[in-house]
Structure 1
Amino acid sequence: MPFTNLISPQELARLATPEWRIFDCRFDLAAPRSGRLAYDQGHLPGAFFLDLEEDLSSPPNGLNGRHPLPDPQFLADKLGSLGVGAETQVVAYDASGGMFAARLWWLLRWLGHDKVAVLNGGLPAWTRLGQPLDAIEPSAVAGHFPLQLQNGMKVDAEYVLGHLEHPGMTLIDARSPDRFRGENETLDPVGGHIPGAINRFFKDNLEADGCFKQASELQEEFGKLIKGGDAHNVVLQCGSGVTACHNLLAMEAAGLDGARLYAGSWSEWCADPARPIATGTD
């Protein structure tokens, strides 16, 4: 049975085979090279490294957000070169509670590959279990990754603009509450949020140990946000389309399938002064 949302360190240690592909997605927005440096110092045995900005995003142009989605064929070719094929079980991890690993999880599903899971608790949970790390960068026999793009998984700025205040869209913002209110904004040139959005800080999906809350608890919490509505009407966003994937993963783990991603998120939205913004808790 494939893993399609979360996998525990115990399950990974017990079940992983050389045919699986494990990806280290560690990153720091304030120090972009630190993830690669940390990988070189020690990573899960057999893990390959993928960089948020070089591999999991395309170059920003000032209007398309800070972390635009990568070119699908580019990412498919990259994954294929690292041995990911149609039947490969993929596991993504980081050291930030899944903050960056969830981006790879969503991207693979967008490319049509459902056999992908995030390591619950990430590297800290792995090491707490007493599992080893190594500093050897593995090699892989290149294969073919069959790209089957699932465009129904995302929406664009025009869709969001056209559905503001529309009962058919519930917009959830994954940023911290202060940034949602327009306070302490250090990453984007404009503070605030998209009018009508609800704030669900992605870290609220986690327990104190960095592992995801139980599915029943996540289901209850997200159920309150969407007021018992259809998850297919939910659009997830954040600052640049990264931590929104964490909320998507949490919803999926809770059995609330079908929510979509606004990948450009706040950094794209606020780049156009014609688009409305809100501040505070409104």
Structure 2
Amino acid sequence: MTVQSLPEVVDVAWLADHLQDTDLVLIDSTSHLEVPEDGPYTIESGAQTYLDEHIPGALFADLLAEFADPENAEPWTAADHDRFAAAAGALGIGDGAKVVVYSQHAPFWATRLWWQLRFEGFDDVAVLDGGLPAWKASGGAVTSEPATATPREFTGVRRPELIRSTDDVAAALDDPGTLLVNVLGEEDYRGETTTYPRPGHIPGSVNFPVAQLIDPDTGTLRPLAELRSEFEEAGLLDPNRKVVTYCGGGIAATGVAWALAQAGVNDVGVYDGSLTAWTADPDLPLVTGPSPR
């Protein structure tokens, strides 16, 4: 059976129906992030949790080891195009593939790979709504048996408009056509935590916590009609402004980009270094306090 062009999100019933499709490539992109109450965050690959259990047929994409720039100080900085294309192709992501990405906990590891694929010019990718927890809750089987990839050639062409560097963000601080969106929690935004070297948010940015995308009871995406109303209220659907999202390290920022794509905003820029990069430079401004909206 051939999978038709994918939307940004599919549910577990869809995946169960299509799990044996020959052109489907299922990817577990889990990483682990620990944020203590009184210090910087720590990171760990999800390779071991993939080996412990995963959806049958799923392959593992190591966002830290394979899809990030090994020369960059920020851990998840997007790899150059050739490195990305080689890593994606080795997993069978390429011409003729339909890709579904999931995570074992927070969905934003999956949206990170969704965004990287779109950034590199590949559109047939969806995120599994609710990830592994939703799959297991529905009665879906899991396995510890690693899957074997069938390599493909990855020929996507990079879309530079979907990424922002620190210099890009600094240059846009006074640009009325740019809307910077901090997707961290309100306490992080206000500067009341010590997760990053310096507290606060980038001047002029508004706060739209990525956590409010997800239903806390089900772990799945909230109804798009509700989210669209909240996007509108926050100014994220203003056709005269280009949305640029940021977070701590460029992961959660992709979650809001993913949700906005479902609302028809397909050109969101993601600040890849986010606060990890911004706060490392003492000359770059930060402000504290509540969102202006």
Relative to the length of structure 1, the TM-score reads: 0.93
- When residues 161 and 78 of structure 1 are mapped into structure 2, their CA distance, relative to the original with a 3 A threshold, is same
Paired residue type of 1:22: L
Per-residue CA deviation, residues 233-260 of structure 1 (Å, 9 max, x unaligned), is: 1111111111000000011122233211
Paired residue type of 2:24: W
CA-CA distance at 1:4 after TM superposition: 3.2
- When residues 231 and 38 of structure 1 are mapped into structure 2, their CA distance, relative to the original with a 3 A threshold, is farther
Instruction: Judge conservation of contact 1:215–1:254 (CA < 8 Å) in 2.
Output: yes
Aligned to 1:11: 14
Instruction: Judge conservation of contact 2:177–2:241 (CA < 8 Å) in 1.
Output: no
Q: Does 1:72 align with 2:76?
A: no
- When residues 198 and 73 of structure 1 are mapped into structure 2, their CA distance, relative to the original with a 3 A threshold, is same
Paired residue type of 2:140: Q
Q: Does 1:194 align with 2:205?
A: no
Aligned to 1:45: 56
Aligned to 1:84: 93
CA-CA distance at 1:136 after TM superposition: 1.1
Instruction: Judge conservation of contact 1:240–1:265 (CA < 8 Å) in 2.
Output: yes
SS in 2 for 1:146: coil
Per-residue CA deviation, residues 20-66 of structure 1 (Å, 9 max, x unaligned), is: 1111112212374462221111101111111221123223644xx34
Counterparts of 2:118 and 2:7, CA distance in 1 = 9
CA-CA distance at 1:18 after TM superposition: 3.2
Instruction: Judge conservation of contact 2:33–2:44 (CA < 8 Å) in 1.
Output: no
Aligned to 1:96: 105
Aligned to 1:25: 29
Per-residue CA deviation, residues 113-171 of structure 1 (Å, 9 max, x unaligned), is: 00001000110110111010111111123221113111111222222212214321111
Comparing 50-59 with 24-33, greater Cα deviation is found at 24-33
Aligned with 1:235 (options 234, 244, 247): 244
Counterparts of 1:228 and 1:257, CA distance in 2 = 11
Instruction: Judge conservation of contact 1:92–1:117 (CA < 8 Å) in 2.
Output: yes
Q: Does 1:206 align with 2:214?
A: yes
- Percent sequence identity is 31
Counterparts of 1:55 and 1:221, CA distance in 2 = 35
Relative to the length of structure 2, the TM-score reads: 0.90
SS in 2 for 1:117: strand
Counterparts of 1:18 and 1:132, CA distance in 2 = 19
Aligned to 1:277: 286
Counterparts of 1:231 and 1:244, CA distance in 2 = 21
Counterparts of 1:60 and 1:181, CA distance in 2 = 31
SS in 1 for 2:26: strand
CA-CA distance at 1:196 after TM superposition: 0.8
Counterparts of 1:147 and 1:227, CA distance in 2 = 28
Aligned to 1:58: 69
Per-residue CA deviation, residues 61-92 of structure 1 (Å, 9 max, x unaligned), is: 44xx3421122211211111122222211011
Per-residue CA deviation, residues 81-104 of structure 1 (Å, 9 max, x unaligned), is: 122222211011012341210000
Counterparts of 1:216 and 1:78, CA distance in 2 = 36
Paired residue type of 1:73: D
Provide the alpha-carbon RMSD of the alignment: 1.8
Aligned with 2:264 (options 242, 245, 255): 255
Paired residue type of 1:272: D
Counterparts of 1:75 and 1:237, CA distance in 2 = 21
Aligned to 2:38: none
Counterparts of 1:122 and 1:231, CA distance in 2 = 34
Paired residue type of 2:5: P
Counterparts of 1:127 and 1:280, CA distance in 2 = 41
Counterparts of 2:241 and 2:98, CA distance in 1 = 26
Counterparts of 2:30 and 2:76, CA distance in 1 = 15
Structure 1: unaligned runs, 5 residues or longer:
none
SS in 2 for 1:68: coil
SS in 1 for 2:275: helix
Paired residue type of 1:154: I
- When residues 224 and 45 of structure 1 are mapped into structure 2, their CA distance, relative to the original with a 3 A threshold, is same
Aligned to 1:217: 226
